[in-house]
Amino acid sequence: MKILVPVKRVIDYNVKVRVKSDGSGVETANVKMSMNPFDEIAVEEAIRLKEAGTAEEVVAISIGPDKAQETLRTALAMGADRAILVKTDEIVEPLSVAKILKAVVDEESPKLVVLGKQAIDDDANQTGQMLAALLGWGQGTFANEVKIEGEKAEITREVDGGLQTVSLDLPAIVTTDLRLNEPRYASLPNIMKAKKKPLDTKTPDDYGVDVAARLKVLKTEEPPERSAGEILENVDQLVDKLKNKEGVL
Amino acid sequence: MALLLLADHDNATLSDQTAKALTAAKEIGGDIDILIAGKGAQAAADAAAKLDGVRKVLLAESDQLEHQLAEPLAALIESLAGDYDYLLAPSTTTGKNVMPRVAALLDVMQISDVMSVEGDDTFKRPVYAGNAIQTVQSSDSKKVMTIRGASFQATGDGGSASVETIDAVAGPGVSAFVSQKIAESDRPELTSAKVILSGGRALGSKEKFDEIILPLADKLNAAVGASRAAVDAGYAPNDWQVGQTGKVVAPELYIAAGISGAIQHLAGMKDSRVIVAINKDEDAPIFQVADYGLVGDLFQILPELQQKL
């Protein structure tokens, strides 16, 4: 089977994000960008399914600016077979991303689409679920374990109370949670090889998808600051503060 | 205006995330109905009917809905959507799972993790793990949104809404429940606890985590949380994780023991009223958000605290 893995280029998770002083967004100029960490887990899972003989081909796709090619090359260096860049300089909302992905799924006919559960920039946590809805497929979100058996996928999900396992008919959608796997680092030879792997470039227009935003961002601001308090000498002082000053004990 | 709020429940009990999301619904204003989808969920429906400000409770029960899988649940909500201007759910794993599916079925862009209501169509929500707050305005005719419970007080009882049984609709039939491993605990729920004691990687092992954190938590009547590092290392189960990708909490008292304070952890707890940090590294970022800090060995401090409470 074929697996499609959408990946997003985001500000690297180690970068402390700075809000622009005019409230128009966050500073992205000269900031290190990387693949969304949840998407790395998705790429890793797809490659492991290929290595296990469950999948034959892993196709990575990114919707974003020209530079998202770098993110796709990372996926290729990890082990994806080929890549598709749907090029746009607009900020594309999850609903539009899901519509583009649906069009790609219609063309490529993968049995499984594995996505990160959320991107660490907009923290929306929507794309996988939306794609599942548009395709009428089952969804295994927040996956902690993925097992493919015949025409079914058994997905163990991280839920508020613990873990839940569901069985989905294939084709299906999986979104990854943190503990599904530990993504590999691409080796230098694989990074070199990835440069020669095929990468197609398309546009949202090729798929007939209007990417106009439905949510207008009016303002982006810093969260309220929380100031550092006091360092206490000992446990007695702490108990006293919590009991007598704060009344929380 | 009419609003439909999807309740968070386990059939037997209604979680207080529902009452918190109800507060957001009331801030928007209009007739608010609560949907209970499940099986054998009369008790949860009765609890929802008592919440203040609810017009009616819709109770839909079927085998398919028992575990609130996204596919049949989204089909149900879509079938009801014609009567409503707003479709809301708490930002629990159930709400996060199903509402984007509903939004896409309705061709609407969801507003995730709403933390304040600024107007009929304008809301604030966190991005970048809470390091920035966006004010967004929706141009969709129907609003589909999830509500961040930690940002709203729970609405109390005081209502007596009617409970109306409605038919479940057949879902796409592409998913089935297999099993679940839900932790049984007498401790309070993380997202509704007044006191939370969280442990980090400094605990060093699951045995030490259990030995040092759990008895003190019980003494404090606290819920137990953990940093991502502690969960990844296997010291604590995934459902204890506090942070942007785990649970977002805002208790009266949050005690972080052996947690350095990574950005994504702070995003999950910095709205707590009083924060206490215990860490042997005086430069740990957790101290920058803590009201009270103790620099030292948690293996000495926590047992001493337990003894002195």
**Where exactly are the structural domains of chain A?**
2-245
ipTM of the complex: 0.96
CA distance A123 to B220: 33
**Structure-block tokens of residue A41:** 């887990």
Evaluate whether B249 touches B196 at the Cβ level (below 8 Å).
yes
The reported pLDDT for the residue numbered A222 is: 92
Is B158 annotated to bind a ligand? Reply is no
Evaluate whether B192 touches B15 at the Cβ level (below 8 Å).
yes
C-alpha separations of A118 from A128, A150, A185, B58, B210 in Å:
9, 28, 21, 31, 31
The class level of CATH for B2-166 reads alpha beta
Cβ-nearest to A215 among B126, B138, B289? B138
Query: What 8-state DSSP symbol labels residue B254?
Result: E
The reported pLDDT for the residue numbered B249 is: 92
C-alpha separations of A47 from A79, A181, B117, B238 in Å:
6, 11, 43, 24
Q: Which residues of chain B does A31 touch, with a Cβ-Cβ cutoff of 8 Å?
A: none
Mean pLDDT for all residues in chain A: 96
Residue A247 distance to chain B (closest CA, Å): 9
User: Omega before A171 cis (within 30°)?
Assistant: yes
User: Which residue of chain A is at minimal alpha-carbon distance from B75?
Assistant: A133
The reported pLDDT for the residue numbered B152 is: 95
Residue A63 distance to chain B (closest CA, Å): 17
**What are A135-186's pLDDT values in tens digits?**
999 999 999 999 999 999 999 999 988 999 999 999 999 999 999 999 999 9
Contact A214 B138 (CB under 8 A): yes
Average pLDDT of each block of 10 consecutive residues along chain B (309 residues)?
97 95 98 98 98 98 96 98 98 97 98 97 94 96 96 95 95 95 86 94 97 96 96 94 88 97 90 95 95 97 95
Name the CATH code of domain B195-308 (choices 3.40.50.1220, 2.140.10.10, 1.10.10.10, 3.30.470.10).
3.40.50.1220
Probe site for chain B from A40, A160, A181 (most B CB atoms < 10 A): A160
The reported pLDDT for the residue numbered B38 is: 98
| Backbone φ and ψ of A65, nearest 5° | -70, 175
Residue A249 distance to chain B (closest CA, Å): 8
**Structure-block tokens of residue B156:** 């109390």
Is B258 annotated to bind a ligand? Reply is yes
The class level of CATH for A2-245 reads alpha beta
Higher pLDDT, B148 or A225: B148
Probe site for chain A from B96, B113, B241, B278 (most A CB atoms < 10 A): B96
What is the mean predicted confidence (pLDDT) over A24-33?
93
Q: Where exactly are the structural domains of chain B? A: 2-166, 195-308
What is the mean predicted confidence (pLDDT) over A56-85?
98
Contact A141 B105 (CB under 8 A): no
CA distance B4 to B166: 14
Residue A193 distance to chain B (closest CA, Å): 32
B122-127 and B132-138 beta bridge pairing: antiparallel
> A148: helix, coil or strand?
strand
CA distance B123 to B109: 13
**Structure-block tokens of residue B3:** 């609003």
